[in-house]
C-alpha cells in the first residue's frame, strides 16, 4: 500500500509516497511499509497538522535516516528516542542537530567523547549527515514529535519500524555494529544476532547519565577496530 492509497495525500503522506517511489533504500520491503502502517501514521500526522498542531521534523525529513543510509550499506546503527522538539533543530537523523546556537546537551557529550576517543577535534556543527552517508543508520524509535512536547509520539506506533529495521540489519548485513546508548536502546539488544554483529552498549550521553558509563566507553574507535577485523572499512567519524 502506498502513501497515496485510500485518499489524497497530504504533506507527510506525500513525503512517504516519494520515499517509496524513489526506492526507499531497500527499506520499503519491511512489513511496516508494505502493510500500510506507515501510510496510517503519516495520515495521522497530516490530520494533526490540519487541526493546528505543529509536527516535527518537516515532511521531507521524516524518513531521512533511511534515505541517506540504504539497508544494503548499513555498517553501524545508533538508536535514538525521538526528534528534538524545538522547530528547526531536528532533520530526521537521531542526535543530529540542524539548528543555530548551542548544541543540545546529549550531542555535546557525544562530541566530547568522540574527541577523547579519536584524539581529534570535531567539526564545528551538529549536523551528522556525513555519518549517515558513511553507513551509520541514525534512527529514532519515534520518527515524529509535537513541537515543545518531547516524547509526545513515542506511543504512536513508530516503535514497530525501529524493531523491524534492527531485525532487518541483523538478518541481512554480514557485519554491523549496534551502538545502544541507555536502557531503552539496550532493551532491543535481543533483536541483534551477536554471533555475527558487535553490540556496544553503555549509558546514555544525556547529562543525567553520561558520567555513569558513557564517558570513556570509546564507541567510535571500538566500532572501527571491529569493522576492520571483519574486513570492512572504518567509519570516517570526523
Asked if 144 contacts 156 with a C-beta cutoff of 8 angstroms, the reply is yes
* HEC-encoded secondary structure of 119-187: CCCCCCCCCCHHHHHCCEEEEECCCCEECCECCCCCCCCCHHHHHHHHHHHHHHCCCCEEEEECHHHHC
Catalytic residue among 82, 117, 127, 163: 82
Q: Which residues contact 233 (CB under 8 A, 6 or more apart)?
A: 227
Chain-centre distance for alpha carbon 68: 11
How far apart are the C-alpha atoms of 169 and 76, rounded to whole Å? 9
The answer to whether 82 is a known catalytic residue is yes
Rounded Cα distance between 216 and 202, Å, is: 10
DSSP structural state of residue 101:
S
Torsion of CA 30, 166, 11, 127, to 10 degrees: -150
Rounded to whole angstroms, the Cα distance separating 31 from 120 reads: 41
| R_g of the chain, CA atoms, integer Å | 17
Catalytic residues: 82
Amino acid at each position: 500500500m502506498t502513501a497515496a492509497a485510500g485518499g489524497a495525500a497530504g504533506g507527510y503522506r506525500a513525503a512517504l509516497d516519494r520515499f517509496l517511489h524513489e526506492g526507499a533504500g531497500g527499506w520499503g520491503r519491511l512489513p511496516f511499509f508494505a502493510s500500510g502502517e506507515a501510510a496510517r501514521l503519516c495520515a495521522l500526522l497530516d490530520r494533526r497538522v490540519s487541526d493546528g498542531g505543529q509536527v516535527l521534523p518537516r515532511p521531507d525529513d521524516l524518513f531521512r535516516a533511511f534515505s541517506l543510509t540504504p539497508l544494503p550499506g548499513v555498517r553501524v546503527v545508533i538508536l535514538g528516542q525521538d526528534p528534538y522538539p524545538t522547530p528547526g533543530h531536528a532533520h530526521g537523523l537521531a542526535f543530529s542537530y540542524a539548528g543555530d546556537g548551542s548544541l543540545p546537551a546529549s550531542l555535546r557529550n557525544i562530541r566530547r567523547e568522540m574527541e577523547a576517543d579519536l584524539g581529534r577535534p570535531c567539526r564545528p556543527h551538529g549536523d551528522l549527515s556525513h555519518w549517515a552517508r558513511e553507513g551509520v543508520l541514525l534512527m529514532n524509535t519515534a520518527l515524529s514529535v509535537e513541537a515543545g512536547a518531547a516524547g509526545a509520539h513515542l506511543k504512536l506506533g513508530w516503535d514497530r519500524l525501529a524493531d523491524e529495521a534492527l531485525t532487518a540489519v541483523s538478518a541481512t548485513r554480514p557485519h554491523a555494529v549496534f551502538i545502544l546508548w541507555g536502557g531503552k536502546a539496550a532493551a532491543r539488544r535481543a533483536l541483534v544476532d551477536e554471533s555475527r554483529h558487535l553490540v556496544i552498549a553503555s549509558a546514555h550521553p544525556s547529562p543525567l547519565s553520561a558520567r555513569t558509563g558513557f564517558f570513556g566507553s570509546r564507541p567510535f574507535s571500538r566500532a572501527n577496530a571491529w569493522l576492520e577485523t571483519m574486513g570492512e572499512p572504518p567509519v570516517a567519524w570526523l
